[in-house]
Structure 1
Amino acid sequence: MINQEYKKMLGKKSVIRELSEYATERAKKVGYENVFDFSLGNPSVPVPQAFTDQLVALAKSDDPVAVHGYSPSLGITSVREKIAVSLKRRFGLDYTKDDIFMTSGAAGAIAHALRAVTVTGDEVITFAPYFPEYNPYVNKTGAILKVVPPDTKSFQINFPEFEKMFSSKVMAVLINTPNNPTGIAYSKDTIEKLAAFLEQKEQEYGHEIYLISDEPYREIVFGHVDAPFVAGYYRHSITCYSFSKSLSLPGERIGYVAVNPACEDAALIVQMCGQISRGIGHNCPPSIIQLAVAEVADMTADLSVYETNMNILYKELTALGFSIVKPGGTFYMFPKALESDAAAFCKHALKYDLILVPADSFGCPGYFRMAYCIPTEKVRRSIAAFKKLAADYR
């Protein structure tokens, strides 16, 4: 008999993917330029030329066996060394290669981190609004995901509710900053308060509590926004990173786990990740991508367009009456819908070929997410459609 649990999941497909597929089919009928697709967080700026040059050079290498062969189970040693050096230089923590494990993007990093520090029945806490895939990421490990209700005034951590939900069963806290879907970066005050609370609970319960920080948008921070490096504030922290957004490489599926060097058993956790791979069929990302990304680890694509798009949308949508906490990074915006039923609102928006994602699955009913990683000229043209949409609710 086939696995009934996964069969049931077929009826609960990602609303983001379904809307993206709808937008693609709609564009075939009315033209791509006429569909304002804010559904999928797919970077819209090109990869740096330096990465392409590295990839081409590697493909022409005199040592194709090394370039295209299996990498070691923890990742290519020289790649891990270069990433550790980059992190140490940028953030001041004493990372070495022994703290780095190469993964297939941030999702692969989270999959390993969760399995390294939890067992069946343990609890993992995250904060709404949150990336919906955290549900299978956590629950398929045997651990149980608990979601703290949002603070919709700021979208920083709702500490009163967090403290109520905390118990000795909590072995990990999973955060995402800058955040998908709000675009909000947790402030230094928020991270310091979180770290102090976790340290207190570690002493109270007599066991480590790990802070797993999901950071694919770490480099997309606007202006002078306060966006601290989380691992610098809490020693039992595990950073899960992806180059997908910083370098516009989502299709290459390349990232890493970085265990805080001050964490007890840091090197052991990385070694354990290699064994976890045996159970989930991870077996390392492609060697050629590891080697290429290591040479541009300190670089980013030209990310400035995202702040440009954010400023246009924030100004125009708030003028139309949308309530929005101004994003501090990423390429997401999280307005409140103009009716209580965000799903109905987003369905109504389809009338004007606006593809918006209702936030019920993000743990924040009444809101919707916009991924504004689309050309700026299209952002500008979308405003006319938003004006029509808003007029329907006056």
Structure 2
Amino acid sequence: MINETYKAMLGAKNVIRNLAEYASARGKEIGYENVFDFSLGNPSVPAPSQFTDTMISMLQDESPMKLHGYSPTLGDPAFKADIAASLTKRFGIAYGPEHIFPTTGAAGAVAHAVRAVTKPGDTVLTFAPFFPEYTPYVEGSGAVLKVVPANTETFQINKEAFEEMLSEDVMAVLVNTPNNPSGIAYSTDTLTYLADTLRSAQEKYGHSIYLISDEPYREIVFAGADAPYVSTFYDNTLSCYSFSKSLSLPGERIGYVAVNPAAEGAEYIVPMCGQISRGIGHNCPPSIIQQAVGKVCDLTSDLSVYETNMNIIYDTLVDIGFTVVKPGGTFYILPKALEEDSVAFCNKAKEYDLILVPADNFGAPGFFRMAYCIDTEKVERAMPRLREFAKKEYGLG
């Protein structure tokens, strides 16, 4: 008999993918340059030339067996050393290679981290708005995901709701900062509060509570934003990172778990991740990608276009009359829809060839997400269409 759990998942529509497919089909009709597609969070800038040069040099000069052989179970030693040294230099935490576990992007990192610090039946808390894939990541481990309602005024932590939900069965808290879909970075005040609250809960309940920090947008932070490194606030933190956004390498699926050396059981967590991999068939990212990325891990693509695009969109939204919190990073913005039903709002936008994503699945009903990782020229052309939509349908602007 086939697995009914996964069969049932086939019926769950991925709203973002469906909208992206619609945009592609519409583009064949009118030209994709005339479809203002804000659906997918796919980086729009190329990888640094140094990465390409490194790959070419390695392919020309290194042993094929070194480049294409199996990676050790716990990851390529040089990659682990490079990441540890970079994090130590940047954030002042004494990471060693033994604290780094390479993964297939941040998704693989979160999936490993959850399994490492929970058992089936435990509760993991996360904060709305949140990345919808957290649900299968957590539920696939046997743990239970519970979502703290959003503070829609700021998209910082809803403190009252969090404290009500922080019960004895909570073994981990999963955060995403800078955040997909809101673009908000958790501030120093927010992270200080979160760390203090978790330490108090650990003492109250007599067990560790781990903080799993999903941070693939760590390097996309805008001028003036307060976006500190989460692990500096709380010892029991596992940082989950991806180079998909910083180096524009989403297809290479390369990331890592970085275990705070001061975390309880830090010496066991990376070896445990190796055993978790045995159970889920993960087996590390490709050897050549680990080696190449390790050599350029302190570089980024030219990420400045995202802040340029954000400012254009934010200023236009405010001028039209939308309610919106200004992002501190990422390439997403989460305005409030102009009617209560955000699905209906986004369907109306499609009539103007504006592809917007209702945020219901992100835990923010009544809001919509725009992914502005597209050419600035297209963002600028989209703004008059957005004004036309708001004027004709809602009398704004």
Is the TM-score greater than 0.5?
Answer: yes
Normalised TM-score (structure 2) = 0.98
Cα distance, 1:108 vs structure 2: 0.3
Distance 1:62 1:299 in 2: 22
Aligned to 1:78: 78
Cα distance, 1:299 vs structure 2: 0.5
Distance 2:344 2:243 in 1: 35
Aligned to 1:210: 210
Amino acid at match of 2:394: Y
Aligned to 1:236: 236
Cα distance, 1:60 vs structure 2: 1.8
In structure 2, the gaps of 5 or more residues are none
Distance 1:37 1:230 in 2: 32
Indicate whether 1:313 and 2:324 are aligned.
no
Distance 1:53 1:275 in 2: 35
- List per-residue Cα deviations over 1:73-100 (Å, max 9, x = no partner): 1110011001000000000000000000
Distance 1:252 1:29 in 2: 32
Amino acid at match of 1:393: Y
Indicate whether 1:105 and 2:92 are aligned.
no
Amino acid at match of 1:156: Q
3-state SS of 1:352 partner: coil
Distance 1:238 1:2 in 2: 35
Indicate whether 1:186 and 2:186 are aligned.
yes
Please list, as runs of the form range in 1=range in 2, the aligned pairs for 1:12-91 lying within 5 A after superposition: 12-91=12-91
- List per-residue Cα deviations over 1:182-206 (Å, max 9, x = no partner): 0000000000000000000101111
Aligned to 1:263: 263
Amino acid at match of 2:349: A
Amino acid at match of 1:364: A
Contact 1:61-1:67 within 8 A present in 2 as well = no
Cα distance, 1:321 vs structure 2: 1.1
Indicate whether 1:122 and 2:125 are aligned.
no
Q: Which runs of 4+ in 1 moved over 2 A?
A: none
Contact 1:103-1:285 within 8 A present in 2 as well = yes
Distance 1:308 1:16 in 2: 24
Cα distance, 1:164 vs structure 2: 0.6
- List per-residue Cα deviations over 1:126-162 (Å, max 9, x = no partner): 0000001111111111100000000011000001000
Cα distance, 1:318 vs structure 2: 1.1
Distance 1:244 1:149 in 2: 28
Distance 1:226 1:42 in 2: 25
Cα distance, 1:267 vs structure 2: 2.2
Cα distance, 1:10 vs structure 2: 1.1
Contact 1:212-1:238 within 8 A present in 2 as well = yes
Distance 1:54 1:266 in 2: 33
Distance 2:295 2:18 in 1: 36
Report percent identity of matched pairs.
64
Distance 2:180 2:16 in 1: 13
Amino acid at match of 1:269: I
Cα distance, 1:265 vs structure 2: 1.5
3-state SS of 2:238 partner: strand
Corresponding pairs, count? 394
In structure 1, the gaps of 5 or more residues are none
Distance 2:267 2:240 in 1: 16
3-state SS of 2:174 partner: strand
Amino acid at match of 1:226: D
Aligned to 1:282: 282
Normalised TM-score (structure 1) = 0.99
Distance 1:175 1:381 in 2: 35
Aligned to 1:374: 374
Distance 1:22 1:58 in 2: 40
Amino acid at match of 2:133: E
Amino acid at match of 1:61: D
Amino acid at match of 1:110: V
3-state SS of 2:61 partner: coil
Cα distance, 1:4 vs structure 2: 1.1
Distance 1:23 1:69 in 2: 40
Aligned to 1:155: 155
Distance 1:143 1:62 in 2: 43
Distance 1:264 1:313 in 2: 44
Aligned to 1:393: 394
3-state SS of 2:195 partner: helix
Cα distance, 1:385 vs structure 2: 1.1
Distance 1:126 1:16 in 2: 21
3-state SS of 2:258 partner: strand
3-state SS of 1:138 partner: helix
What is the root-mean-square deviation in Å for CA atoms of aligned residues?
0.7
Residues 352-361 or 16-25, more deviating: 16-25
Cα distance, 1:61 vs structure 2: 2.9
